[in-house]
Amino acid sequence: MAEARTVERFKKRTIWFHWIHTAAFLVLLVTGAMLFLPGLGGPAAGGLTRSIHRIAVIFFVGAPIVYFILNPRMTLHFIKETLTWDKNDFQWVCNAPDYYFGGDEEKMPPQGQVNSGQKMWQFIVLATGILFVISGCLMWFFKDILSPTVFGWSVVVHDVAFLLALLMLLVHIYTGSLHPRMNESFRSMLDGKISKKYARNHYGKWYEKISASDK
Amino acid sequence: MEISRKDFLKGAAGATGLLLLEPPAMALAKESQTHSGMAMLVDVTKCVNCWWCYAACKEYNKLPETVRPDPAQPPALSPDVWTTLHSVKKGDEWVSRKKACNHCTEAACVEVCPTGALSYNKLGFVQYDREKCSGCGYCAEACPFGVPQMEANKTTGVAIMNKCTFCHDRVTNGEPPACAAACTTGAITYGQRAELITEAAERINDLRQHNTEASVYGVDELHGLHVMYVLDDSPEVYGLPTEPEVPPSTIVRDVLRWLGSGLAIAAMAGFGLNYLVARLRMNRGEK
């Protein structure tokens, strides 16, 4: 038989984790926006959405914890990779505007399992996640103890994290599912596979590594 | 009818697709209500600690009765106590200020309320629609007088706020609030704010002849409170902050709303443009 034309990019459990975390975040986003944009406040009356917000948090915080317990090495590798930046990454960022506007693919330095832009997104997810949890816990559990000033600024921190996460999420959704160049990206988050050609073009370093270890 | 600046800004915001946002220039845009609307004037020199205002508030608003109040230990504001006394011992006597919502013209609680449960009534008071309250507690944190009180379950987050409503249904029907109607000594007067300001000035003139500490509170604070005070001492003595303000974080939040919404809309437009250009250049590259 001819050899497989695709390679596995994401494991099933990673895909599950991705979508559970996404769903939780979207619920948090919608129920949170109701307290952020006064024009959306209507459905928050009665406070049901605030309870939903708290239930969604269980999944938003719980999913990464469960994922870490099941896959400690993969998770640590993910965090390490997110935080490791070398000159290739900076080169990539400099060339990125032209690349995303349809420029020459050859100019991009070969990437590992995720490209530098994805690393930026992962960093925002980690950083805003921490900000969300800290400011959220303050507002949830320590409301009675906090001075009004500290409470006020906790809300602001929650807002800032929300805006950073929202803007990067928009970029993530666009580049991950609509951008003409990233045509295999969305499907790979459903079945975990990408074509070898796509892997070679987009994640050259990673592709070389996995093909070498296959032999 | 004249269009107020706030309405104009709202219209302009709507026209630019930012319908969900309040204009940030809230201080600017606030209609000048300083001398308009209805108000109460509370005069500590006329209060005799009878607690009828407290009892009338409880009765009219159907709030559960708790204890027989004592000036030495007045009940604190709570979800069931919308009006109480702040009592100060002077010699052998207790001098008391009626303590409840001050119904600010520029009200921090209204500015932070996400659901519109708190709003400005045309008569000048801060209107509260309990049905719309989400229990977020932003008002309780923002109010410089510590008025809004939360009934809250910390674990589930289910909560609801309570506070003085200015007896909304009474005043909109031309009746004074229950506390003012119950006061027999003239310590609580209800009327046109402009007239009460004049009255307060006259009373303070009289008081100052033998008491230089006497002061009026609430005429200019937060663009004018709709509960003003004639005091025989400085405001701090009666638990009133000298410079009450809407917390600065509220203004930062306003800016973030505009910035965030603007950036999100710009990002969407950017993606559209990016898609077209990228498509075009990639097709050309393939040829």
pLDDT digits (tens, 9 = 90+) for B244-265: 999 999 989 989 999 999 999 9
Query: Does any domain span residue A123?
Result: yes
Same domain, residue pair B65 and B133? yes
Q: Which of residues 25-84 of A touch B (CB under 8 A)?
A: 34-42, 44-47, 49-51, 53-54
Same domain, residue pair B160 and B259? no
B253 and A159 in contact by Cβ < 8 A? yes
Query: Does any domain span residue A63?
Result: yes
Residue B13, pLDDT above cutoff 60:
no
User: Would you state the structure tokens that stand for residue B191, as one six-digit string?
Assistant: 């009327």
Structural domain range at position A50: 11-74
So what's the pLDDT on residue B29? Answer: 39
Of residues B136, B274, B279, nearest to A50 (C-beta): B136
So what's the pLDDT on residue B7? Answer: 47
Query: Does any domain span residue A97?
Result: no
A103 interaction partners in chain B (CB closer than 8 Å): 281
Instruction: Please report, rounded to a whole number, the percentage of residues in chain A having pLDDT higher than 90.
Output: 69
Same domain, residue pair B218 and B259? no
> Chain B within 8 Å of A149 (Cβ-Cβ)?
yes
Average pLDDT score over chain A: 91
For chain B, the three-class secondary structure string (H helix, E strand, C coil) is CCCCHHHHHHHHHHHCCCCCCCCCCHHHHCCCCCCCCEEEEEEHHHCCCCCHHHHHHHHHCCCCCCCCCECCECCCCECCECCEEEEEEECCEEEEEEECCCCECCCHHHHHCCCCCEEECCCCCEEECHHHCCCCCHHHHHCCCCCCEEEECCCCCCEEEECCCCCHHHHCCCCCCHHHHHCCCCCEEEEEHHHHHHHHHHHHHHHHCCCCCCEEECCCHHHCECEEEEECCCHHHHCCCCCCCCCHHHHHHHHHHHHHHHHHHHHHHHHHHHHHHHHHHHHHHHC
Query: Does any domain span residue A23?
Result: yes
So what's the pLDDT on residue B218? Answer: 96
Residue B23, pLDDT above cutoff 50:
no
CATH of the domain at B40: 3.30.70.20
Same domain, residue pair B141 and B204? yes
B132 interaction partners in chain A (CB closer than 8 Å): 42, 45
B281 interaction partners in chain A (CB closer than 8 Å): 101-103
So what's the pLDDT on residue B71? Answer: 81
Same domain, residue pair A62 and A127? no
So what's the pLDDT on residue B287? Answer: 60
A171 and B267 in contact by Cβ < 8 A? yes
Please provide residue A64's backbone torsions phi and psi, each rounded to the nearest 5 degrees.
Answer: -65, -35
B278 and A143 in contact by Cβ < 8 A? no
Label residue B220 by pLDDT band (50, 70, 90).
Answer: very high
Query: Does any domain span residue A102?
Result: no
Which of helix, strand or coil describes residue A182? helix
Total number of domains in chain B: 2
Residue B2, pLDDT above cutoff 90:
no
> Among A39-48, B53-62, B83-92, which stretch is predicted with the lowest mean pLDDT?
A39-48
Label residue B70 by pLDDT band (50, 70, 90).
Answer: confident
Same domain, residue pair A70 and A123? no
A141 interaction partners in chain B (CB closer than 8 Å): 154
Total number of domains in chain A: 2
Residue A215, pLDDT above cutoff 60:
no
Instruction: Please report, rounded to a whole number, the percentage of residues in chain A having pLDDT higher than 70.
Output: 98
pLDDT digits (tens, 9 = 90+) for A162-188: 999 999 999 999 999 999 989 899 999
Query: Does any domain span residue B12?
Result: no
Same domain, residue pair A51 and A120? no
Query: Residues B161-188: what's their mean pLDDT?
Result: 96
Query: Does any domain span residue A130?
Result: yes
Amino acid in the structure at residue B260: G
Instruction: Please report, rounded to a whole number, the percentage of residues in chain B having pLDDT higher than 70.
Output: 86
So what's the pLDDT on residue B32? Answer: 44
Which of the two residues, B230 and B5, has the higher pLDDT score? B230
Instruction: Give the residue from A21, A53, A74 where a domain finishes.
Output: A74
Which of the two residues, A58 and B284, has the higher pLDDT score? A58
Label residue B10 by pLDDT band (50, 70, 90).
Answer: very low
Residue B31, pLDDT above cutoff 90:
no
Q: Which of residues 240-269 of B touch A (CB under 8 A)?
A: 247-250, 252-253, 256-257, 259-261, 263-264, 267-268
Same domain, residue pair B59 and B114? yes
Residue A12, pLDDT above cutoff 90:
yes
Same domain, residue pair B251 and B231? no
Same domain, residue pair A126 and A191? yes
pLDDT digits (tens, 9 = 90+) for A102-160: 888 888 888 888 899 999 999 999 999 999 999 999 999 998 888 888 999 999 999 99
Same domain, residue pair A188 and A130? yes
Which of the two residues, B109 and A46, has the higher pLDDT score? B109
> What pTM, to 2 d.p., does this model score?
0.84
Structural domain range at position B104: 29-235
Same domain, residue pair B153 and B195? yes
Query: Residues A11-33: what's their mean pLDDT?
Result: 96
Label residue B118 by pLDDT band (50, 70, 90).
Answer: very high
Of residues B142, B158, B281, nearest to A102 (C-beta): B281
